[in-house]
């Protein structure tokens, strides 16, 4: 089984590669225009820089589908006895095709390969579609983070318990 921190992964229906400058430029524009980031006021500039920064604990990947960059997934590991999904976004044209589910399955399998007890994610209180998606994939709300990003909105911390 693969471990966190590799340069690339082949997930069958899609592939992951460390985000390049051109991927970051392209996807930062599209993703900053859709919710939750539109409502949260994220800018293409901050996304472009963030998507390209790899650290020893955080890896950011471009999701490639049918040869095109269609999304970003960023994983911080280790966090609270497991990985923290810091960013997940699939562009609207590629949503609803099973890519998100494939990415969460990869996260689950890779976390298990590290004997992680948990996976954590944060989701905005107004992002009902993403909450339904995470619930369908086994995540439960474990905390309400009041005004985490903006005063007006809370963020929900969700956890998938693996063991
Ligand atoms: C949320 C997101 C990552 C899901 O990825 P996706 O590729 O569109 O999702 P999938 O096609 O893999 O759907 C997987 C499963 O999630 C569930 N699901 C997805 N969207 C759902 C919705 N709106 N309502 C209920 N369930 C939903 C379904 O169970 C679906 O599986 P099924 O159709 O086989 O039953 C993607 O839609 C996205 O990037 N949205 C905008 C940004 C965002 O909200 N990101 C999350 C920030 S925390």
pLDDT value at residue 75: 98
Q: Is 110 helix (H, G, I), strand (E, B) or coil?
A: helix
pLDDT at 81 over 90: yes
In a domain, 19, yes or no: yes
Write out pLDDT tens, residues 111-132.
Answer: 999 999 999 999 999 999 999 9
Q: Does the beta carbon of 105 lie inside 6 Å of ligand 1?
A: no
Residue 89 sits in a domain of what CATH number? 3.40.630.30
Asked if residue 21 has its Cβ within 6 Å of ligand 1, the reply is no
Residue 1, pLDDT above cutoff 80: no
Q: From ligand 1's centre to the CA of 120, what distance in Å?
A: 17
Which atom of ligand 1 lies nearest, measured to the CA of 130?
1
Ligand 1, pocket-test mutation among 101, 104, 120, most atoms within 8 A of CB: 101
Extract the tokens encoding 158: 């969700």
Q: Residue 1 domain-assigned?
A: no
Q: How far is the CA of 133 from the centre of ligand 1 (A)?
A: 5
Domain assignment present for 105: yes
Residue 16 confidence (pLDDT) = 98
> Could you report the per-residue pLDDT of 133-153, keeping only the tens digit for each?
999 999 999 999 999 999 999
Half-sphere exposure of 82 (CA within 13 A, CB side): 21
- Counted residue by residue, the chain has a size of 163
- Which atom of ligand 1 is nearest the CA belonging to 101? 12
Structurally, how many domains does the chain consist of? 1
Q: Which two tokens stand for residue 46?
A: 């901050």
Sign of CA dihedral 129, 130, 136, 141: negative
Shortest-distance Cα residue to atom 42 of ligand 1: 89
pLDDT one-digit tens code per residue, 36-71: 999 999 999 999 999 998 999 999 999 999 999 999
Say if residues 136 and 45 touch (Cβ distance below 8 Å).
no
What does DSSP say about strands 8-10 and 15-18: parallel, antiparallel, or unpaired? Answer: antiparallel
| Distance, CA of 150 to CA of 40 (rounded, Å) | 7
Residue 10 burial by CB count (10 A; 0-12/13-18/19+): exposed, middle or buried?
Answer: exposed
On whether residue 126 sits in a domain, the answer given is: yes
CA-proximal residue: ligand 1, atom 34 (nearest):
98
Assess if residue 49 is contained within a domain.
yes
Per residue in 86-111, pLDDT (tens digit) is 999 999 999 999 999 999 999 999 99
Looking at the domain assignment, is residue 123 inside a domain? yes
Give the distance (Å) from ligand 1 centre to CA of residue 101: 7
The domain in which residue 15 lies consists of: 8-161
Instruction: Report phi then psi at 84, rounded to 5.
Output: -120, 125
Give the residue whose CA is nearest to atom 12 of ligand 1.
98
Give every CB contact of residue 54 below 8 A, 6+ residues apart in sequence. 18, 60
* pTM (predicted TM-score): 0.96
pLDDT attached to residue 145: 98
Residue 89 lies in a domain: yes
- In-domain check, residue 3: no
pLDDT in the model for residue 73: 98
Token pair for residue 7?
A: 């340069």
Residue whose pair of structure tokens reads 């497991």 in the numeric block: 82
pLDDT tier for residue 2 given thresholds of 50, 70 and 90? confident
């Amino acid at each position: 089984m693969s471990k966190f921190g590799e340069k690339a992964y082949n997930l069958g229906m899609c592939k992951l590669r460390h985000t390049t400058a051109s991927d970051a430029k392209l996807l930062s524009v599209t993703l900053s225009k859709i919710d939750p980031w539109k409502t949260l006021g994220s800018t293409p500039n901050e996304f472009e820089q963030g998507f390209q920064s790899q650290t020893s604990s955080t890896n950011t990947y471009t999701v490639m589908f049918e040869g095109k960059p269609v999304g970003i997934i960023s994983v911080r590991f280790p966090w609270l006895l497991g990985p923290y999904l810091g960013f997940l976004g699939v562009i609207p044209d590629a949503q609803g095709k099973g890519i998100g589910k494939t990415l969460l399955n990869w996260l689950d399998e890779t976390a298990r390969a590290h004997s992680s007890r948990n996976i954590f994610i944060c989701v905005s209180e107004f992002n009902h579609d993403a909450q339904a998606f995470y619930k369908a994939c086994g995540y439960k709300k474990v905390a309400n983070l009041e005004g985490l990003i903006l005063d007006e909105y809370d963020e929900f911390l969700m956890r998938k318990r693996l063991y």
